[in-house]
Amino acid sequence: MINDKLPSIYYGGDYNPDQWPEEVWQEDMRLFKLAGINIVTLPVFSWAKLQPSEDTYDFEWLDKIIATVAKEGIFLCLATSTAAQPAWMSRLYPEVLPVDIDGRKRTHGSRVNFCPNSPVYRMFSQRLATKMAERYGQHPSLLVWHIGNEYAPHCYCDTCASSFRAWLQKKYGTLEVVNRVWNMSFWSHTVYEWEDIVPPTNLNGNNRCFQGIALDYKRFMSDAILECYQGEYDIIKRITPDIKITSNIWGLFNGLDLKKWADHMDVVSWDSYPQMNEPMSNVAMRHDYMRGLKDGQPFMLMEQTPSQQNWQPYNSLKRPGVMRLWSYQAIAHGADTVMFFQLRRSVGACEKYHGALIAHAGHEHTRVFQECTQLGKELQMLGDTLLDSVTESKVALLFDIDTWNAVEMTSGPSVDLDYLKQAQKYYRAFYDLNVSMDVISPLSDFSKYELIIAPVMYMLKPGVSDRLKSFVKQGGTFITSFFSGIVNENDLVTLGGYPGELRDLLGIWVEEIDALQPEMTNRIMMNSTFGELHGEYECGLLCDLLHLEGAEALGVYGRDFYAGMPAITRNTFGQGEAYYVATDPEQRFLEQLSKTICERLNLTTAHQAPEGVEIRSRQKDDKTYTFVLNHNAYETAILLNFGSYKDLLSHRIYERTLVLEPHGVAILEVCS
Ligand code: GLA
Ligand code: ZN
User: How do residues 471-527 score in pLDDT, each as one tens digit?
Assistant: 999 999 999 999 999 999 999 999 999 999 999 999 999 999 999 999 999 999 999
Distance 305 CA to ligand 1 centre (A): 9
Q: Running DSSP on this structure, what letter comes out for residue 349?
A: S
- The residue-averaged pLDDT of 150-163 equals 95
Domain membership flag for residue 132: yes
User: How do residues 20-49 score in pLDDT, each as one tens digit?
Assistant: 999 999 999 999 999 999 999 999 999 999
Question: CB-based contacts of 267: which residues, under 8 Å, 6+ apart?
Answer: 2, 144, 244, 245, 246, 294, 297, 298, 299, 300
Q: What are phi and psi of 51, to 5 degrees?
A: -135, 80
CB 354 within 8 A of CB 342: yes
Residues 133 and 209 in one domain: no
User: How do residues 298-331 score in pLDDT, each as one tens digit?
Assistant: 999 999 999 999 999 999 999 999 999 999 999 9
User: How do residues 588-626 score in pLDDT, each as one tens digit?
Assistant: 999 999 999 999 999 988 899 999 999 999 999 999 999
Domain membership flag for residue 4: no
> The CATH number of the domain where 476 resides is what?
3.40.50.880
| Whole-number pLDDT of residue 572 | 98
Q: Which atom of ligand 1 is nearest the CA belonging to 310?
A: 12
Distance 115 CA to ligand 2 centre (A): 4
Q: Which atom of ligand 1 is nearest the CA belonging to 273?
A: 12
Answer yes or no: is the C-beta of 253 below 6 A from any ligand 1 atom: no
Whether the pLDDT of residue 292 is over 90: the answer is yes
Nearest-angstrom CA–CA distance, 185 and 386: 57
Answer yes or no: is the C-beta of 149 below 6 A from any ligand 1 atom: yes
Q: Running DSSP on this structure, what letter comes out for residue 104?
A: P
Q: How confident is the prediction for the chain on average, in pLDDT? A: 97
CB 555 within 8 A of CB 566: yes
| Whole-number pLDDT of residue 209 | 80
Residues 190 and 243 in one domain: no
Catalytic member of 22, 23, 60, 150: 150
Nearest-angstrom CA–CA distance, 554 and 323: 44
> The CATH number of the domain where 16 resides is what?
3.20.20.80
Identify which ligand lies nearest to the alpha carbon of 340: 1
Residues 371 and 428 in one domain: no
Nearest-angstrom CA–CA distance, 275 and 619: 30
Residues 140 and 125 in one domain: yes
Q: Running DSSP on this structure, what letter comes out for residue 474?
A: T
Question: CB-based contacts of 549: which residues, under 8 Å, 6+ apart?
Answer: 503, 504, 507, 508, 509
Domain membership flag for residue 352: yes
Name the domain boundary from 213, 239, 254.
Answer: 213
Answer yes or no: is the C-beta of 274 below 6 A from any ligand 1 atom: no
In this structure, the strands spanning 508-515 and 536-548 are: antiparallel
Domain membership flag for residue 606: no
Domain count, the chain: 4
What value, to the nearest 5°, has the Cα angle with vertex 69 and ends 63 and 74?
Answer: 135
**Nearest Cα residue to atom 7 of ligand 1:** 271
Name the domain boundary from 356, 382, 408.
Answer: 382
Instruction: Report CA-CA distances (Å) from 80 to 44, 45, 69, 147.
Output: 7, 9, 18, 5
Rounded (to 5) percent helix, strand, coil in the chain: 35, 25, 45
Domain membership flag for residue 581: yes
Residues 366 and 252 in one domain: yes
Domain membership flag for residue 563: yes
Answer yes or no: is the C-beta of 341 below 6 A from any ligand 1 atom: yes
Q: By residue range, what is the domain housing residue 471?
A: 395-600
Answer yes or no: is the C-beta of 232 below 6 A from any ligand 1 atom: no
Per cent of the chain over pLDDT 70 is 99
Distance 156 CA to ligand 2 centre (A): 5
Domain membership flag for residue 459: yes
CB neighbours (10 Å) of residue 346?
A: 17
> The CATH number of the domain where 633 resides is what?
2.60.40.1180
Residues 490 and 581 in one domain: yes
303 is catalytic: yes
Closest CA to 408 of 201, 211, 585, 555: 211
Residues 374 and 256 in one domain: yes
Residues 231 and 251 in one domain: yes
| Whole-number pLDDT of residue 207 | 67
Q: What are phi and psi of 232, to 5 degrees?
A: -70, -40
CB 487 within 8 A of CB 459: yes
User: How do residues 73-110 score in pLDDT, each as one tens digit?
Assistant: 999 999 999 999 999 999 999 999 999 999 999 999 99
Q: Which atom of ligand 1 is nearest the CA belonging to 305?
A: 12
Nearest-angstrom CA–CA distance, 124 and 112: 14
Residues 575 and 618 in one domain: no
pLDDT category, 204, cuts 50, 70, 90?
low
pLDDT category, 206, cuts 50, 70, 90?
low
Instruction: Report CA-CA distances (Å) from 51 to 55, 64, 487.
Output: 8, 16, 49
Answer yes or no: is the C-beta of 271 below 6 A from any ligand 1 atom: yes
CB 524 within 8 A of CB 583: yes
Q: Which atom of ligand 1 is nearest the CA belonging to 271?
A: 7
Name the domain boundary from 213, 235, 259.
Answer: 213
Domain membership flag for residue 300: yes
Residues 166 and 267 in one domain: no
Residues 420 and 318 in one domain: no
Residue 37 DSSP SS3: coil
Q: Please report how many Cα atoms fall inside a 13 Å half-sphere around the Cα of residue 666, on the Cβ side.
A: 24
CB 83 within 8 A of CB 45: yes
Per cent of the chain over pLDDT 90 is 97
User: Is the link from the previous residue into 21 a cis peptide, with omega within 30 of 0?
Assistant: no
Answer yes or no: is the C-beta of 273 below 6 A from any ligand 1 atom: yes
CB 20 within 8 A of CB 161: no
Whether the pLDDT of residue 205 is over 80: the answer is no
Identify which ligand lies nearest to the alpha carbon of 159: 2
CB 11 within 8 A of CB 337: yes
Task: Supply the pTM of this predicted model.
Answer: 0.98
Residues 485 and 591 in one domain: yes
pLDDT category, 283, cuts 50, 70, 90?
very high
**Nearest Cα residue to atom 12 of ligand 1:** 309
Encoded amino acid at 357, one letter = L
Distance 341 CA to ligand 1 centre (A): 6
pLDDT category, 351, cuts 50, 70, 90?
very high
